[in-house]
Homo-oligomer: A and B are copies of this chain.
Amino acid sequence: MVYELYYWPEIQGRGEFIRLALEEAGADYVDVARRSERSGMGTAAMFRFMDDEAVPCPPFAPPFLKAGDQIIAQTANILLFLGPRLGLVPEDEGGRLWVHQLQLTIADMLVEVHDTHHPIAASLYYDEQKPEALRRATEFTVSRLPKFLGYFESVLARNPAGNGWMVGDALTYADLSMFQMMAGLRYAFPRNMQRIEPGYPLLVALHDRVAERKRIKAYLKSKRRIPFNNDGIFRQYKELDA
């Protein structure tokens, strides 16, 4: 099975949570929009698909995944689909729901990260909503960021398996996503993260442990990993990191 991932080619964004799962598993996949238009791919292929009124199950937005005849959208839903196929979830239903629950909480947090720089509308430039962004980012770094990190730290602390993963005794897609969240937060809020990170030793250790996975390490060094930049969800605006 060759998976086809469709996502914006110039940002990590939500697509990165899928890329990390595919990379960790060594899955065979094509990052369609990053390929050339000459080859029939590129963003043109993504738009062609999104504009196709014959598609019975249309995605609202990228990312979406083609797996044979199936088309699946919504980041957490794609991971729900891929989890058992890539060996990134426990065997039991309860464990799988717990992984998915964590993923959905990471997704909620991600929206709040995004809205620190776009509190009014994603369709407007950052410069058009800067005063609001300053206010929202302050609320985020002072109140929401510690609340979310404290929650995920407690998840790690309470895991009965107790060997550093979020669910059970093996890596799941929630761990990969948590790694991405920590990496993104360090990029977007370096001063705040430096200040508060010592309070979350298990999350820091989880980040490092994922970064050292053989395939993830190779991926992070490769050109397939798009660098963080100020078009993505995690953006480095100094004024928002007071």
Contacts and interface: CB of A to CB of B under 8 A. Distances in A.
Contacts of A72: 97, 101
Nearest to A144: B121
A104 B160 contact: no
A139 interface: yes
Interface size class of A (residues with CB under 8 A): 35 or more
Nearest to A132: B132
Interface in A69-114: 70, 72-74, 76-77, 80-81, 94, 97-98, 100-101, 104-105, 108, 111
Contact of A120 (B53, B100, B104, B119): B119
A25 interface: no
Main SS class of interface, A: helix
Contacts of A56: 158-160
A24 to B, nearest CB: 21
Contact of A100 (B55, B58, B80, B159): B80
What is the copy number of this chain in the assembly?
2
A143 B123 contact: yes
Contact of A97 (B55, B80, B123): B80
Nearest to A167: B57
Nearest to A93: B81
A100 B106 CA distance: 17
A119 B148 CA distance: 18
A74 B121 contact: no
A165 to B, nearest CB: 13
A144 B94 CA distance: 35
A144 B72 CA distance: 22
Given A56-B158, A76-B76, A77-B97, 13 more contacts: A53-B154, A55-B158, A57-B98, A58-B154, A60-B151, A74-B100, A77-B104, A80-B80, A81-B97, A108-B111, A121-B139, A121-B144, A129-B135
